[in-house]
Amino acid sequence: MPKTALLLFRSGKVVCTGGKSQADVGQAIQIVSKEIRKGGQRITSKPEIIVQNIVASSGLGSVLELNAIAVTFGLDHVEYEPEQFPGLVYRMDDPKVVILLFGSGKLVCTGAKKPSDVEKAVKKIDKELRAAGLLR
């Protein structure tokens, strides 16, 4: 079984986290469905899998000056409180994702619905940082 965690609700809904692919999620749900059936519970339909949130990490290959990024990008899309959290939170409108930027140059992208949104967001933040002279 893929390394996942599943939450089962009385309504019949299931939330699966931790899957590395949609195939992993499908396999995990299939295994749990089989176990539920063994327990005597009827499952009347094949579960529909809807991706709600993809979380991905990447690196920009350069150290980042988060204070300069916060000032340059402005308060409309950025939250940066280093005393509270070491990363800068950048809320992107298109694609609609949140990117956490760290001084090491690493980033985490969350909120994507499909892998292409992650790719688009990482390329876009890279381009924006380079255009502002904040990434070499």
For the chain, domains (ranges, CATH) are 1-50 (no CATH), 54-131 (3.30.310.10)
pLDDT tens-digit map of 14-44? 999 999 998 999 999 999 989 999 999 888 7
State the Cα–Cα distance between residues 120 and 46, nearest whole angstrom.
32
pLDDT one-digit tens code per residue, 42-70: 887 788 889 999 999 999 999 999 999 99
The answer to whether 111 and 97 are in contact (CB under 8 A) is: yes
Residue with tokens 């070499």: 136
Q: Which long-range contacts (CB under 8 A, 24 or more apart) does 106-109 make?
A: 106/57, 106/58, 106/59, 106/60, 107/57, 107/58, 107/59, 107/60, 108/55, 108/56, 108/57, 109/54, 109/55, 109/56, 109/57, 109/58
Query: What are the residues facing 79 on neighbouring strands?
Result: 89
pLDDT per position as a tens digit, 71-98? 999 889 999 999 999 999 999 999 999 9
* 106 pLDDT more than 90: yes
What is the C-alpha separation between 84 and 77, in angstroms, rounded?
18
Position 58, amino acid: S
